Structure 1
Amino acid sequence: MTTAHRPAAPAKPEGSNPHHSSHAEEYEHEPVPASARRSLMSVAATWFGFPMNLGSAVFGGVIVYNLGLAKGSLAILVGNLVLFCYVGALSHHAGSTGKNFALLTADTFGSRGRNLPAGLLATVVIGWFSFQVGLTGTTLSGSLGWSALGGAAVGGVLYTLLTMAGIRALSLIGMIATPLFLVLTVVALAYGLDAHTTLGDTIGYQGAGTALGFGGAVAIIIAGFADSGTMTADFTRWSKDGRSAVLATLTAFPFANFLANGAGGLIVAVGATANPAKDGGGFLNLLTGHSTLLTGIAIIFVFVNLGSVASHCLYNGAVGWSALTPLRMRSLTVILGTVGVAFALSGVWGYFLNWLNLLGVFVPPIGAVLITDRLLKARTGDRPAGAFRVTALASWAAGAAAAGLAHYTLPELVDPVIGMITAAVVYAAAETVMRRRPTAGRPDPALSA
């Protein structure tokens, strides 16, 4: 028995998925097609809402407490300018190609070699997610007397659901978090101003700490976004082009992050925090106890503010692991969100901060290798990535070793920058040597010239 011949079904357009409509597709395994790219405002909102958070205010306050307002503000500005150059270069690559971080690392580190840098960062950001969930509970407990476990559980569920909505939700929460942060910062400063503190006292604040140097302060700013900043492609791949991706990054660094760091510094400079050495410029306590309305807004602020950070981190982790596995982003969001919440509820998150910040020192060399590789390919042409690219992996290791050595022995230097420069130089040198080596069946170009 024969059957009639059926014409082949038309090919599906690139990026299509039978299980996901186009508006819900997150393009974990392929570049974002031109038809799915988003407006500059949408991508910018994804980025500028991320650093506008209480954690950035805490770091800014600690820096100003140690260095004074003028010197501390300069360190904050320098750190943010370094972040702009670093994250902006990576964003331009993402916007030009539409590729997420894991896909870009495959081009440079190899199809299997990418598993180490991409897997590491996709795991580290889940640690940051867990930290934000735990911080939600302790913040609500310290300011309002709520159950820390209850607050963390509610926050973890909300943040996971938000991340499942995808890139659109990250843009939306950024548009809400930014004005809310700015308005409540002004309110907190108004309540925190000491009647005896003058404008001159604030501007001339010299700081009271001695444990932190200028280089260490700059390093804190860089390390604060070393992980997600390196994974910026997960956000900026949605840009129309490379230029739009850079402009979206500019709204975060230096602008949004500098404002958030600076807000914390002002909180300390006006004497509005009782323990600036530990709490930095955290100002939630200044918003509670005045009225039911303001307290209610402060509670919403906690969930929106910390939720913005947590959802961005979980999105990075889910997109990263989905690119390395056959699983989809939303499935991994549930899995990784559950793991992160479990760590938060167990109390383990309280031990994360030191090693997460330390990993932030070792992460920037990854981005430096990616940037250098793109510059080299623009000059010499593309080349096959292969399974493992030893030059890229070794250069990352060299940069991480240099940054770690500087971190422990030369605290006055900016250790992430040391790591980035070392990785870039080693990679450029290694690639130059490899390109000049004769390959099998092909004479050395220098000998045949």
Structure 2
Amino acid sequence: MDRKDQDYPLSEVPMSARKSLRSLSMVLLGFTFFTATMFAGGRIGAAFPMWPDLILIIVIGNLLLGAYVAAIGAIGARTGLNTALLSRFGFGRVGARLPDIILGFTQIGWYGWGTATMAVVLLRLIGVDPDANAGLAYALMIVFGLAFCWTAYIGYRGLEILSLISVPLMVLLLIVSLSIAWGDAGGWSGLTGLQPTEALGIGTAITMVFGTFVSGGTQATNWTRFAATPRQAIWASLGAFFIGNGLMVATGAIGALVYQQPDVVDVLVAQGLTVLGIAMLFLNLWTTQDNTIYNFSAVGCTGFATENRKLVTIIGAVIGTGLALMRIDLYLIPFLLLLGTFIPPIGGVIMADYWLRHRGQYPKIAEAALPAFNVAGILAYALGCLVAYVTPGIPPLNGIIAAIVVYAVAVRLMPAARPGIGAA
């Protein structure tokens, strides 16, 4: 089987297959331009005044997210490995199935959310009640669920082509929407004078911003492994996850603050952008859906020890469509809070293992003598999740720091966890 055609699911990406900064940036921006981020921004915008609360939440949340993804993305570029393969070092050959299952489930969950949302919101935009026409809604979910995986089936090149077309169009629509909201609010003075209508804790709000893409960000190595240099991976990650994701959150938040509507669809309708809103919604979700199912295929290939990424992509799309039919879209906020708690420690373990245990140098994955279980990694992940769950402040950040600290201590106290020792 041609590894190039399958995007090297079980091996390092060779330098001959690496991509340019522009290519990588377009793919990652297409990934982060996601309707769920605007929905989350809408919930935040309805709960905080514009200055300084809302601005600080958006900046801090996306800066943390961008820095986190950049750190992991650089490792992907240096090693040429995706997150599923990197997890083998941090968790062990068998232990890596734990983050594989968790990350695979979250990506399938997002795919189901996006598929259901596309069907439901499209019907609402054209004036059809999705609840009263459930049969039509379910039929659209099946159509979109199978259609969205097409570019992911092609591979990186398919993601790149779609992003090159859709990203500029989505940026234009966001600018138009923000301009209309700015005018309707009466400029900066009008925006700062608007009062929130809902209540939400600052820590919860930042966790929601972080949680919108912490699962996808943890798997950003699936694309940054194609970067020609670590520096390109860092810049592309910051551009997509700090600026791109921040723009999506800000658009949803400002729209909610101005129109008192946390639902981005209602905001677009109020702005007279119904037709453009349909186009934006379709492109917005498609560019994220194909990346999401691509993430699942990377995890699935590792879990099933197969290089047939295209087959795994189809299987994932079918499962995700099933979740859409179960209406996973009705549980966005709880889903985001769970992601912000239980996903970041995985990245903490990967970073700690690469920099603290292996000193920034992994052997070739095919030649690595890896233990079945890396106890240090599993322990660090478990305690990182516990800290994120029970501590106040910013749970994602708490979980990452805790996982790194616990891993560093565990490696020092357990000789079997050091490189070259205890390998099966």
TM superposition score category, shorter chain reference: 0.7 to 0.9
TM-score by length of 2: 0.88
Task: Give the aligned residue type for 2:60.
Answer: V
Which residue in the other structure is 1:178 paired with?
167
Which residue in the other structure is 2:150 paired with?
161
Q: C-alpha displacement at 1:351, in angstroms?
A: 4.0
Which residue in the other structure is 1:394 paired with?
379
Matches within 5 A, 1:17-36: 19-20=1-2, 22=4, 24-36=5-17
Provide the C-alpha distance between the structure 1 equivalents of 2:271 and 2:208, rounded to a whole number of angstroms.
27
Structure 1 residues 211 and 353, CA gap change in structure 2 (3 angstroms): closer
- Give ranges in structure 1 of 5+ residues lacking alignment: 1-18, 442-449
Which residue in the other structure is 2:100 paired with?
118
Task: Give the aligned residue type for 1:119.
Answer: I
Which residue in the other structure is 2:141 paired with?
152
Task: Give the aligned residue type for 2:200.
Answer: L
Structure 1 residues 130 and 381, CA gap change in structure 2 (3 angstroms): closer
Post-superposition Cα deviations, 1:83-125, rounded to whole Å, max 9, x if no partner, equal 1221111111100111011110001111111111122201221
- Give ranges in structure 2 of 5+ residues lacking alignment: 129-135, 363-367
Q: C-alpha displacement at 1:190, in angstroms?
A: 5.3
TM-score by length of 1: 0.83
Structure 1 residues 223 and 48, CA gap change in structure 2 (3 angstroms): same
Which residue in the other structure is 1:225 paired with?
213
Which residue in the other structure is 1:16 paired with?
none
Give the match's secondary structure for 1:388. coil
Which residue in the other structure is 2:311 paired with?
331
Structure 1 residues 401 and 386, CA gap change in structure 2 (3 angstroms): same
Give the match's secondary structure for 1:305. helix
Q: C-alpha displacement at 1:131, in angstroms?
A: 0.5
Structure 1 residues 202 and 55, CA gap change in structure 2 (3 angstroms): farther
Give the match's secondary structure for 1:27. coil
1:83–1:222 CA contact under 8 A, matched in 2: yes
Give the match's secondary structure for 2:195. coil
CA RMSD of aligned residues (A): 2.6
Structure 1 residues 378 and 64, CA gap change in structure 2 (3 angstroms): same
Give the match's secondary structure for 2:71. helix
Post-superposition Cα deviations, 1:382-426, rounded to whole Å, max 9, x if no partner, equal 7953110111101100000111113xxx3xx11111111111111
2:78–2:229 CA contact under 8 A, matched in 1: yes
Provide the C-alpha distance between the structure 2 equivalents of 1:98 and 1:21, rounded to a whole number of angstroms.
14
Which residue in the other structure is 2:398 paired with?
418
Deviates more, 1:62-71 or 1:133-142: 62-71
Which residue in the other structure is 2:294 paired with?
315
1:275 matched to 2:261:
yes
2:46–2:198 CA contact under 8 A, matched in 1: no
Provide the C-alpha distance between the structure 2 equivalents of 1:200 and 1:37, rounded to a whole number of angstroms.
44
1:143 matched to 2:129:
no
Provide the C-alpha distance between the structure 1 equivalents of 2:110 and 2:315, rounded to a whole number of angstroms.
16
Structure 1 residues 379 and 59, CA gap change in structure 2 (3 angstroms): same
Task: Give the aligned residue type for 1:399.
Answer: G
Task: Give the aligned residue type for 2:269.
Answer: N
How many residue pairs get aligned? The number is 405
Post-superposition Cα deviations, 1:277-303, rounded to whole Å, max 9, x if no partner, equal xx2686442465x7xxx72x4333222
Provide the C-alpha distance between the structure 2 equivalents of 1:63 and 1:388, rounded to a whole number of angstroms.
40
Provide the C-alpha distance between the structure 1 equivalents of 2:182 and 2:386, rounded to a whole number of angstroms.
45
Give the match's secondary structure for 1:134. helix
Task: Give the aligned residue type for 1:225.
Answer: F
Q: 1:107 aligns with which of 84, 89, 93?
A: 89
Give the match's secondary structure for 1:204. helix
2:91–2:377 CA contact under 8 A, matched in 1: yes
Structure 1 residues 219 and 437, CA gap change in structure 2 (3 angstroms): closer
Structure 1 residues 73 and 174, CA gap change in structure 2 (3 angstroms): farther
Q: 2:225 aligns with which of 228, 231, 237?
A: 237
Q: Give the ranges of 4+ consecutive aligned residues of structure 1 lying more than 4 Å apart after TM superposition.
A: 189-195, 378-384
Which residue in the other structure is 2:390 paired with?
405
1:37–1:238 CA contact under 8 A, matched in 2: yes
1:359 matched to 2:339:
yes
Deviates more, 1:197-206 or 1:378-387: 378-387
Structure 1 residues 431 and 282, CA gap change in structure 2 (3 angstroms): farther
Structure 1 residues 282 and 115, CA gap change in structure 2 (3 angstroms): farther
2:122–2:278 CA contact under 8 A, matched in 1: yes
Structure 1 residues 262 and 35, CA gap change in structure 2 (3 angstroms): same
Deviates more, 1:241-250 or 1:170-179: 170-179
Provide the C-alpha distance between the structure 2 equivalents of 1:200 and 1:87, rounded to a whole number of angstroms.
32
Task: Give the aligned residue type for 1:285.
Answer: V
Provide the C-alpha distance between the structure 2 equivalents of 1:427 and 1:385, rounded to a whole number of angstroms.
17
Give the match's secondary structure for 1:67. coil
Task: Give the aligned residue type for 1:47.
Answer: L
